[in-house]
Structure 1
Amino acid sequence: METLANLESFVRSAETGSFSAAARLLALTPAAVSRNVAILERNIGVRLFQRSTRKLSLTEAGERFLASIGGNLQALQSAISAMSSDQGEPAGVLKVSLAPTFGIDHVLPLLPEFLKRYPLIKPEWHFENRQVELIAEGYDAAIGGGFELTPGVISRTLAAAHVVAVASPAYMAGRTPPDSPPDLHRLNGIVMRGTRTGRIRQWVMQDGVGNEAQGILTENIVLNDPAAMREAAILGLGVTLLVLPDVAANIQRGELVRLLPDWHADAGPISLYYPSRTLMPAKTRVFIDFVVEAFQK
């Protein structure tokens, strides 16, 4: 009978199109994954992959084999995971991707209590301004906004992401506050260039009764990180547009003031994303429940 390691190596390599990517998912070396697949091919007497220096692709026989075992393998893994979690506390490395500013300000402070409850879990948290491939890159979960829901990924909303205009009291001293979003253009602007699009991010703002207006800032300072934009605004360098959770504490402390308090732009929700599984690992399940409960409170 074929070993689970060989079958896992084959399925993950087929899903990701790479022995290296499969190795990251399985916590193995690429050589070990390649060896497992080679053993599987030898044992069943069929070539499953066409290999080249640039690409790994399934043969026709490989496609049929993947279709026949894919669901069964997931069920077997889920059963093993469920049995393992029943034997003790949730444990293992918890790999999570987080939007830097939101993650540091609102999720990282939850970590002491989480580790107090689940001391056998080892966080491996990546703070990054990008949409990760949860399954292909081996993440247990991700927290951020604007993720494209690819097949096999589920989202849970944590908070609304309302974009608001802010500046420091020192910068606004002696300046006339804007009356509407177009007025922002006459102030020094701190803007963001998207890492994926390469374009300056623009926002359409709306008020409480449904009126809409373009909030266009002058491009006096161009940055690529919300935390840097926030700090530049605190330093008195101009006005910027950021999601409210990223600047709420600064507004409360008086480091920033909110301009146009009746106006905001909708950036969509900040959500928790995780791979869909019938029976997910206990470490992932308790993390999801813990974070969702914290934000509900």
Structure 2
Amino acid sequence: MTAVVLATACALVYGTADFFGGLATRRSQVMAVVVLSQLAGLVLVAALLPVLPGELTAGGLVWGMAAGVSGGVALVLFYRALATGVMSVVAPVTATTSAALPVLFGLAAGERPEPVALGGVALALLAVVLVSRDSSPAAARRGYGPVLSALAAGAGFGGFFILLDQAPDGGGMWPLFGARLASVALITLLALATGRTLRPGAGTMWTIVVAGVLDMAANVLFLLATERGMLALVGVLASLYPASTLLLARYVLGERLNTVQVVGIGCTLAAVAMIAVA
């Protein structure tokens, strides 16, 4: 039950972080948003090292850094898709892919959830497909570019979940510190190599910082959840974050939800309940 609570909270925080990140990319360069938000997250995880102590090992840092590279590239693609596409489509498409990969990996690695939990996983995957359905003219005008970026981002996020789960137990926040250090270095080098500015747009700095802090907080919740539960379950619960992104987009930006998307949000709640009782 603890793992379910942590993973569900992780999804809520991830969704809120993505909402703020999406807002920032509409007024700032994607590279600037990613680097500055990742720096904010690095400061947070550094502050948490003495609060949530663990053993510093080479394995923990290496797996964390590998996860950071995967997640950093995914974040660039994801924020670019959010900036050019419809937020209520991009987030669920990314989540569908990022949810499926940890489930498949966990099952291949020998994890065997209870039948009710597996039913919840299937329902959760259906939920993210349903909430990704958008027939609005705005979605049609943007074409398939943002969707393809969202799919690639989902693969990167799925890789982040899998690689981070490989870090040895007892490492505390060190794997996340390694992950964030690697992603900051990678994206900074990419920005410098391509001549992209790292200066945020006017009035966006606080939005970027909030996105970075929330993203790292969600990562912490995910790491704690995987220490207490199976990756196949935690990964799919964490990938339900589009529900909170959708609701924020609906009530803050005025993006409308169609009937299918509302059903998808209902399926999300049912999926969490099924996994929780298993």
The reply to whether TM is greater than 0.5 is no
Greater relative contact order, per chain length (Cα 8 Å cut-off, separation 6+): 2
In our comparison, the structure showing a higher alpha carbon Rg is: 1
More strand by share: 1
TM-score by length of 2: 0.27
More helix by share: 2
TM-score by length of 1: 0.25
